[in-house]
Amino acid sequence: MTRHRQTSKALASQLDPNLPPSLELAHPDDCHVLRPPVFIPTSENPTPPVYRCPCSESRRAECAVRRFFAESVRPLEIDIGFGMGRFIIGHSQAFPENDIAGIEKETVRVAIVDVEARKRGIQNLRLIGGEALPFLQNCVPEQRVSAYYLFFPDPWPKKRHRRKRLFTEEFVNSVCKTLITGGRLCVSTDFKEYFESINALMAADKRFAKGAAYIRGESEQTDFEIRFKNKEIPIYSASWTKH
């Protein structure tokens, strides 16, 4: 019940008429690309279906997400799974010359970050509510993104759950397709086995070269990062640049 009240309060706060216009890119709730239906795997069908955008060429101009990408002319960066927003808000303020987009599946988190960014007067940030992989596959233009940030994704530590991890070959292909030449993918996680898996996958991909981790300023550090540092939990980070 408490969680429900907090969610309702966060969503209602977005409607405050005293705030600047919302930074969330509105999209129909029934969009099965950004919000695909719940998939329950079976032994006969163990992998989720691939969802494709139903928008026809004539209707794509009506989609706020596609319109944002079409109208954006500045360097574009995308934060995947922005959570409570400490990084994406801090990064947007640190780089006002760039357009920053964030994708997050939790509706309440989108609302909270939207309100906080509007209170700070941020104008170069846009927020999208939905699933990351179909977003990359259907909404993001090819060779358009300067940088992707993926910080502390859900590690799904149990072996039977690892198929749910975002970082897969399919994900890397989508990142590569949408990155510009010289664009980078920056990753951090506290889960060593997940980092080793990511590192092995990227090392085998000759389209990328490994580089130093992206060093975040104090205002760009995520809630997870601050928590892990306070507990002296190791953080594993790296970046990869597209050839």
* CA 148 from centre of chain: 8
pLDDT digits (tens, 9 = 90+) for 212-224: 999 988 889 988 8
pLDDT confidence of residue 49: 81
List C-alpha distances in Å: 187 to 117, 124, 168, 231. 23, 22, 13, 20
pLDDT digits (tens, 9 = 90+) for 13-28: 999 999 999 999 976 6
Helices marked H in 27-168: 64-71, 86-94, 107-119, 132-138
pLDDT digits (tens, 9 = 90+) for 181-199: 999 999 999 999 999 999 9
pLDDT confidence of residue 53: 81
Annotation marks residue 154 as catalytic = yes
Q: Check pLDDT > 80 for residue 147.
A: yes
Give the mean pLDDT of 68-73.
93
For residues 2 and 22, the model is more confident at: 22
Q: Check pLDDT > 70 for residue 56.
A: no
Give the mean pLDDT of 41-64.
75
Any idea what DSSP says for residue 158? S
Any idea what DSSP says for residue 161? G
pLDDT confidence of residue 59: 63
pLDDT confidence of residue 1: 44
pLDDT confidence of residue 46: 77
If DSSP codes are grouped into helix, strand and coil, which group holds residue 219?
Answer: helix
Q: Check pLDDT > 50 for residue 203.
A: yes
Q: Which of 29, 79, 114, 154 is catalytic?
A: 154
For residues 5 and 153, the model is more confident at: 153
Cα torsion at 215, 221, 224, 228 (round to 10°)? 60
* Residue at token pair 């909404």: 139
pLDDT confidence of residue 160: 82
Q: Are 189 and 153 in contact (CB under 8 A)?
A: yes
List C-alpha distances in Å: 29 to 63, 153, 155. 12, 24, 27
pLDDT confidence of residue 28: 60
pTM: 0.92
Percentage of the chain exceeding pLDDT 90: 67
Any idea what DSSP says for residue 190? S
For residues 47 and 233, the model is more confident at: 233
Give the mean pLDDT of 80-95.
96
Give the mean pLDDT of 24-41.
79
Crossing angle of helices 192-203 and 169-178, in 10° steps, is: 60
For residues 227 and 236, the model is more confident at: 236
